[in-house]
Amino acid sequence: MAKVKCAIIGSGNIGTDLMIKIMRTSKNLEMGAMVGIDPNSDGLARAARLNVPVTHEGIAGLLALPNYKDIQVVFDATSAGAHVHNNELLQRDGKKVIDLTPAAIGPFTIPVINGDANIDEPNVNMVTCGGQATIPMVYAVKRAAGRVIYGEIVASISSKSAGPGTRANIDEFTETTSKAIEVLGGAERGKAVIILNPAEPPLIMRDTVFTLSQGGDREAIEASILAMEAEVKKYVPGYRLKQKVQFEVIGDNAPVRIPGIGYCSGLKTTILLEVEGAAHYLPAYAGNLDIMTSAALVTADHWAAKFLAKEAA
């Protein structure tokens, strides 16, 4: 069966996990190259053992590989700053780019929200790990309630699952996720917080979502949240609600002040999530990696299926 060749730029935690997922589970993609900048990285060593072409010379090394012309899809798992340069070169050569950094050059993409809507865009952005885990829940409230005035997410991940790329992009994480809460989640105002937890043994990824909404009722909102949980589970089996959805009425007699909007009343919804990873590379506590790479793989796989169908026609 024909498959589309892909390359991964970034041989750290995210890139290595993604490589293993592609090789084990992808229906339409096959590895064409693993690209890094550290010749001693574990990701490059693993790729070489798996007979994947490798280079430690970054984007320049990728462009120089003999099979570069055959690569159709490139995943970028480096940093927001590096992605700007990488994307410029890749677009020049007509490559499909899946951006796993917070650079947000292309449109935000979360499979369960806008799925294939951006499938033909030359560059799509996978938001952030926290965004992939939590924004579907903001959207779930929005579709049931009608109006979400405020959406706030707190993503707590183990320090051990946060590599140098993640640590270098904390500001970009909060800015990109906050914007995506509004653009994709439908909240009028969004806020994102990330916590790197150094606890030993490492803790599994936990996420808290707060929304303030108007319209709809508790039963409809909870049903929408449960349906969304089931949708995300289709590609991230370890995604689950940690406990029952919580509600609190914010009355007109004690409204809350939303920056940029003013004093508001409504229904506060609290959603507590847990994301357990598939342990393809790092242990199961690294659900933040799993949901990011799984979302990127689903997106690229759908594009590759469309590409292969067009080629066969």
Residues known to be catalytic: 129
Alpha-carbon Rg for the chain, nearest whole angstrom, is: 20
Q: How far is CA 301 from CA 4, 113, 174, 195, 268, in A?
A: 9, 17, 28, 31, 37
* % helix, strand, coil for the chain, step of 5: 40, 25, 30
d(CA 313, CA 303): 16
Other residues' Cβ atoms within 10 Å of the Cβ of residue 169: 23
Q: Is 93 left (phi over 0), alpha (psi -120 to 50) or beta?
A: alpha
Q: Phi and psi dihedrals of 117, rounded to 5?
A: -60, -35
d(CA 299, CA 126): 9
d(CA 302, CA 235): 13
Q: Phi and psi dihedrals of 52, rounded to 5?
A: -90, 130
Q: Which residues contact 299 (CB under 8 A, 6 or more apart)?
A: 98, 109, 111, 119, 124, 126
| Counts for the chain of helices (H) and strands (E), in that order | 10, 14
Q: 280: which 2 tokens?
A: 């393809």
